[in-house]
């Protein structure tokens, strides 16, 4: 079942590439929409059949390269299932949004279908090498999206930087995986086997180095300070759909790696170095928010708030490794908050990036002070952007609040100072979003000269449907989160148990 969900987009991609006759631009996108919808429906059935207390389910394990200790092993648990669902939902939203795309649509659709397989494959992978394959391919796919559909020649440079930078991370990750592989007897890359055997228990420096390699690899992808510098140019120059996927799915690969690999496979070192993780998380929160505050470019600002939001997750997973001064319930709460934040950030920031695409589409610039009084011309656009901005800064009623509340409550007991510092991040993001909203939407109506004489048009159907849908899901999670938390919580308890052993 999971293999079908994972490889369905890739299969459709192959069919589209080999299809002998050229279809219309919209036909390609419709094929993509149908594929994404079918995939989402399949995930919903998986969710419906998911036993919340049953651990890892829908497992499938096939011998792949046995002599190298690699198997094709997939499965979902409470940590990965929400992300799998998020991936399907976000890709469906992006597909609808892409109905207006006119540039080389076939390649565009194929790349995104490929990326969907890569994203889904990563979240269901239960083998380190399988995980790595998708981790690496996500870079390749996104490179072509940015270079091919980004904003001009600058995008090519940004794509190159993105590829080189994140590739360093992925190779560091590979070294760490090799370290784990060699420590296990018999040698294996299987995550489930490695989790149960805990091969690096009591290996001191060696385990620390393995954690360093894996940690750096995941930190580059997440990204956390100081490895975040690839993110702003990549986002700024990527097309809106690419940014939404980059922020919504690709960044989650890093944070998901922490809860799937770093914590359960290296529990001893994770506990030992938890404080480092917490500090990195708190610094990312504040630094990301401060730098976002200084931005004059709307999209770049959202990119930096991603650093801020990812910082909360890193803080939470670090706090989950600090045993002193906390009980199992608090640590489990932190992990639940972290996973909820991954989902929440995917929904809200995905929507924000799509909206920033609308802005660029109308005015050919992201500069905040080029616009003023937009609310008068484009009430729907202003409304939904305002809602997304409020959701992003963590206002109660949306998923971001649920996530951040749990993170702070879970982290406070063991890491009071870091948590207190991190809370200021919310204040700063509130300030920067309010400032941007005021400048762009309120005041005297003024538009950049690039906008044609006919004036600026409001959100069209293909732009409104995906963004409103994403915000609606964020709202549902914010008001009635139990259906999501019931899935995540048992897995968080299992994870904190593994870390504490």
Partner 1 sequence: MNENLAALVPETALCATAVIGLLTGAWLPRRRQWTVAVLAAAACVTGLTATGITMATGREQTVFSHTFAVDAATDVGRLTVLGALLLIIAMSVETVRGHRRETEYWVLLLLTGAGTLALIGASDLLMLFAAYLLAGIPAHALAAFAKDAPGTEAALKYYLMGALLGTTMLAGTALLYAAGHATLYRALHATLPHAAYGLVGVGLIGVLAGLLFKAGAVPAHFWVPDVTDGAPTPVAAYVTTVPKIGGLIGGYRLLHEALPDSDVNWPLLLAVIAAVTMTLGNLAAFFQTSVKRLLAYSAISQVGYLLMALAVATRTDLAQKSLLFYIAAYAVTNLGVFAVVTELPQARTLDDYRGLARRHPGLAAVLVVCLLGLVGTPPTGVFLGKLEIFSAAVDGGFTWLAAVAVVNTVASLFYYLRWLAPLFATTAPAPAEAQTVLGRWAAGAAYTSGTASLALGIAGGALLPLTTGPLLR
**Interatomic CA distance for residues 343 and 232, integer angstroms:** 21
Binding range to partner 1, per CB under 8 A, among 27-35, 158-166, 268-276, 390-398: 158-166
Binding range to partner 1, per CB under 8 A, among 1-9, 176-184, 241-249, 291-299: 176-184
Q: Does 160 bind partner 1 (CB under 8 A)?
A: yes
Q: Which residue has the tokens 């293909």?
A: 462
Torsion angle defined by CA atoms of residues 180, 183, 185 and 187, in that order, rounded to the nearest 10 degrees: 50
Query: Which of 398, 210, 368 has the alpha carbon at shortest distance from 298?
Result: 368
Q: Does 148 bind partner 1 (CB under 8 A)?
A: yes
Residue 244 CB partners (closer than 8 Å, separation 6+) = 90, 93, 94, 97, 349, 350, 351, 353, 354, 357
Using CB under 8 A, which of 77, 127, 136, 489 touches partner 1?
Answer: 136
Q: Which residue has the tokens 């760490």?
A: 176
Q: Compute the least distance from the CB of residue 151 to partner 1, in Å.
A: 13
Q: Does 11 bind partner 1 (CB under 8 A)?
A: no
Q: Compute the least distance from the CB of residue 145 to partner 1, in Å.
A: 11
Q: Does 115 bind partner 1 (CB under 8 A)?
A: no
Residue 254 CB partners (closer than 8 Å, separation 6+) = 218, 219, 220, 221, 222, 223, 310
Using CB under 8 A, which of 150, 179, 394, 478 touches partner 1?
Answer: 179
Binding range to partner 1, per CB under 8 A, among 157-165, 261-269, 399-407, 489-497: 157-165
Q: Does 273 bind partner 1 (CB under 8 A)?
A: no
Binding range to partner 1, per CB under 8 A, among 20-28, 132-140, 365-373, 482-490: 132-140
Query: Which of 441, 338, 424 has the alpha carbon at shortest distance from 389?
Result: 441
Binding range to partner 1, per CB under 8 A, among 144-152, 388-396, 411-419, 450-458: 144-152
Q: Does 163 bind partner 1 (CB under 8 A)?
A: yes
Q: Does 453 bind partner 1 (CB under 8 A)?
A: no
Indicate the pairing of strand 70-76 with strand 57-65: antiparallel
**Interatomic CA distance for residues 368 and 223, integer angstroms:** 25
Using CB under 8 A, which of 129, 184, 334, 436 touches partner 1?
Answer: 129
Using CB under 8 A, which of 167, 229, 373, 431 touches partner 1?
Answer: 167
Binding range to partner 1, per CB under 8 A, among 174-182, 304-312, 399-407, 449-457: 174-182
Query: Which of 475, 470, 312, 467 has the alpha carbon at shortest distance from 398?
Result: 475
Query: Which of 392, 311, 379 has the alpha carbon at shortest distance from 351?
Result: 392
Using CB under 8 A, which of 11, 34, 182, 427 touches partner 1?
Answer: 182
Residues 274 and 326 sit within 8 Å (Cβ to Cβ)? no
Q: What are phi and psi of 440, to 5 degrees?
A: -85, -40
Helix (H, G, I), strand (E, B) or coil at 267: helix
Query: Which of 168, 403, 239 has the alpha carbon at shortest distance from 308?
Result: 403
Q: Does 275 bind partner 1 (CB under 8 A)?
A: no
Q: Does 137 bind partner 1 (CB under 8 A)?
A: yes
Q: Compute the least distance from the CB of residue 342 to partner 1, in Å.
A: 24
Q: Compute the least distance from the CB of residue 353 to partner 1, in Å.
A: 23
Q: Does 181 bind partner 1 (CB under 8 A)?
A: yes
Q: Does 70 bind partner 1 (CB under 8 A)?
A: yes
Helix (H, G, I), strand (E, B) or coil at 313: helix
Q: Which residues bind partner 1 (CB under 8 A)?
A: 63-68, 70, 104, 129, 132-133, 136-137, 140, 143-144, 147-148, 156, 159-160, 163-164, 167-168, 171-172, 174-175, 178-179, 181-182
């Amino acid at each position: 079942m999971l293999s079908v969900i994972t490889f369905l987009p890739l299969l459709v991609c192959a069919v589209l590439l080999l299809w002998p006759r050229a279809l219309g631009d919209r036909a390609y996108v419709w094929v993509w929409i149908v594929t994404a919808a079918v995939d989402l429906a399949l995930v919903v059935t998986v969710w419906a059949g998911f036993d919340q207390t049953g651990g890892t389910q829908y497992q499938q394990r096939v011998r792949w390269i046995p002599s190298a200790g690699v198997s094709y092993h997939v499965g979902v648990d409470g940590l990965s299932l929400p992300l799998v669902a998020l991936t399907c939902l976000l890709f469906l939203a992006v597909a609808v949004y892409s109905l207006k795309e006119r540039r080389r649509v076939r390649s565009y659709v194929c790349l995104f279908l490929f990326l969907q397989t890569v994203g889904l494959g990563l979240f269901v992978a239960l083998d380190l090498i399988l995980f790595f394959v998708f981790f690496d391919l996500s870079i390749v796919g996104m490179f072509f999206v940015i270079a091919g559909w980004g904003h001009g020649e600058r995008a090519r440079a940004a794509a190159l930087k993105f590829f080189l930078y994140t590739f360093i991370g992925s190779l560091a990750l590979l070294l760490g995986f090799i370290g784990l592989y060699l420590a296990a007897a018999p040698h294996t890359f299987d995550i489930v086997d490695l989790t149960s055997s805990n091969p690096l228990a009591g290996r001191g420096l060696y385990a620390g180095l393995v954690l360093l390699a894996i940690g750096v690899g995941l930190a580059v992808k997440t990204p956390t300070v100081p490895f975040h510098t690839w993110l702003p140019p990549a986002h700024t120059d990527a097309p809106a759909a690419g940014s939404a996927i980059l922020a919504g799915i690709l960044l989650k690969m890093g944070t998901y790696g922490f809860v799937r690999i770093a914590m359960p496979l290296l529990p001893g070192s994770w506990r030992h170095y938890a404080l480092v993780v917490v500090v990195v998380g708190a610094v990312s929160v504040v630094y990301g928010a401060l730098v976002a505050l200084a931005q004059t470019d709307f999209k770049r600002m959202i990119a930096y708030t991603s650093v801020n939001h990812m910082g909360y997750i890193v803080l939470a997973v670090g706090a989950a490794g600090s045993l002193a001064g906390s009980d199992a319930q608090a640590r489990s709460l932190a992990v639940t908050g972290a996973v909820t934040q991954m989902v929440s950030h995917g929904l809200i920031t995905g929507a924000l990036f799509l909206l920033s695409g609308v802005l660029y589409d109308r005015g050919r610039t992201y500069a905040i002070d080029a616009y003023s009084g937009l609310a008068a011309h484009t009430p729907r656009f202003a409304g939904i952007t305002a809602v997304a901005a409020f959701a992003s800064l963590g206002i109660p009623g949306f998923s971001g609040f649920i996530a951040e509340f749990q993170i702070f409550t879970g982290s406070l007991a063991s890491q009071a100072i870091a948590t207190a510092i991190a809370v200021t991040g919310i204040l700063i993001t509130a300030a920067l979003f309010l400032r941007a909203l005021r400048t762009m939407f309120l005041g005297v109506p003024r538009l950049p000269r690039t906008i044609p004489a006919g004036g600026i048009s409001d959100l069209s159907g293909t732009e409104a449907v995906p963004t409103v849908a994403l915000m609606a899901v964020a709202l549902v999670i914010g008001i009635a989160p139990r259906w999501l938390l019931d899935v995540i919580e048992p897995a968080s308890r299992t994870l904190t148990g593994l870390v504490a052993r």
